[in-house]
Amino acid sequence: MTPAWRPGDRRADVASMLRVDQAGEYGATRIYAGQLAVLGDRHKSSALIAGMAAQEKEHLSHFDALLAARGVRPTILQPFWAVAGHALGAATALIGPAAAMACTAAIEDEIDAHYSEQLAELGDGDAPLSASIERFQADERAHRDAAIEAGAESAFGYPLLYAAIRAGCRAAIELSKRI
Ligand SMILES: [Fe+2]
Ligand SMILES: [Fe+2]
């Protein structure tokens, strides 16, 4: 845990936090849309994915509203994440349902860590934002657990797939913080 903010410390850059969170939730909606585009609505994983997708849409609208209310511009990478997220979702679903779940497990582990970092950085500096992040983090953890439950770890090459997607997610986070 990072200690609370003290005079002389750098204040949490809330605009950058909101930008990356909105980008991440947007990316999540695109990943699930890509998976559902491949699996359709009749696959046995479809209902689970659609349920997670609905929660991501709710997370996204919350951050959309926060960006607007606080005058924060979205990342200029939004059009890129639209394509990359959809492609990642579609590609993992094409490999198979277990790979689609492996994708969710990797992404959600990274987002869980990312939200923990933000909560530590915020301290008690922005209670409403921290409350939202805590609520969404609980959802992301539930998505990860559901993905593991649904067989993520049985995906072919799981350790490699997991590590590659998690690293990609980390890179996307770092980019969206900055631009
Ligand atoms: Fe989310
Ligand atoms: Fe999620």
pLDDT digits (tens, 9 = 90+) for 152-172: 999 999 999 999 999 999 999
Name residue, tokens 């980390």: 170
Backbone angles phi, psi at 12, to 5 degrees: -60, 135
Q: Is the pLDDT of residue 49 over 90?
A: yes
What's the 44 CA to ligand 2 centre distance in angstroms?
Answer: 19
Residue 169 CA to ligand 2 centre (angstroms) = 13
Of all residues in the chain, the percent with pLDDT exceeding 90 is: 83
DSSP-derived letter for residue 153 is G
The pocket of ion ligand 1, defined by CB under 5 A, consists of: 25, 28, 56, 59
Centre of ligand 1 from the C-alpha of residue 81, in Å: 15
- 8 C-alpha vs ligand 1 centroid, how far in Å? 33
Query: What's the 16 CA to ligand 1 centre distance in angstroms?
Result: 17
The predicted structure's pLDDT at residue 3:
55
Lowest mean pLDDT among 1-5, 19-23, 28-32, 128-132: 1-5
In angstroms, the CA 176 to CA 20 distance is 5
Residue 9 three-state SS:
coil
Surrounding residues of ion ligand 2, Cβ less than 5 A: 140, 143
- Cα(4) to centroid of ligand 1, in Å? 26
CA-wise closest residue to 132 among 67, 73, 57, 63: 63
**From ligand 2's centre to the CA of 72, what distance in Å?**
23
Look at residue 6 in the predicted model and tell me its pLDDT: 59
Global confidence as pTM: 0.89
Ligand 1 centroid, distance to 29 Cα (angstroms): 8
pLDDT for 43: 86
Split at pLDDT 50, 70, 90, the class of 4 is low
The predicted structure's pLDDT at residue 54 = 96
User: How far apart are alpha carbons 128 and 134 in whole angstroms?
Assistant: 10
Type and span of the H or E element at 117: helix 97-122
Joined tokens for residue 37: 């585009």
